[in-house]
């Protein structure tokens, strides 16, 4: 599963159960729909662990953060999957926003570099 444009990419690696994000995502709400579908497909796999690697995602707007929050809530509701978010200390939005996902999923693991 992969979505790639000139500005960003979201790729799911089934070997490692990792969703890799990179680029700049400043999209309208409806433009996030293909990514939401990808996240939904991954959530329905009901894997024991999923990693979301955001370290190369330079920018995302509030619609994108909301979409990520919904994904976190979906996994928390199912109580099947342990979620690990990999974030960068060097990217301002990640430094500010990633910790807030822990409010949605208390057992969320965050790995910062």
Over residues 25-49, the pLDDT tens digits come to 999 888 999 999 999 999 999 999 9
Instruction: Give the domain CATH number at 6.
Output: 3.30.750.24
User: Which residues fall within 8 angstroms of residue 43, CB to CB, at 6 or more apart?
Assistant: 71, 74, 75, 78, 81
Q: Note down the domain range covering 11.
A: 2-112
With cut-offs at 50, 70 and 90, classify the pLDDT of residue 98: very high
How many residues in the chain? 113
Global pTM value = 0.94
State how many domains the chain has.
Answer: 1
């Amino acid at each position: 599963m992969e979505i790639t444009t000139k500005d960003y990419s979201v790729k799911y690696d089934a070997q490692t159960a990792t969703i890799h994000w990179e680029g700049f995502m400043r999209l309208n709400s409806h433009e996030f729909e293909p990514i939401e579908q990808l996240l939904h497909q991954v959530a329905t796999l009901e894997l024991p662990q999923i990693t979301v690697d955001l370290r190369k995602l330079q920018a995302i707007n509030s619609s994108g953060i909301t979409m990520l929050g919904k994904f976190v809530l979906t996994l928390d509701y199912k109580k099947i999957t342990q979620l690990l978010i990999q974030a960068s200390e060097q990217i301002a939005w990640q430094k500010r926003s990633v910790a807030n996902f822990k409010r949605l999923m208390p057992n969320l693991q965050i790995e910062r570099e």
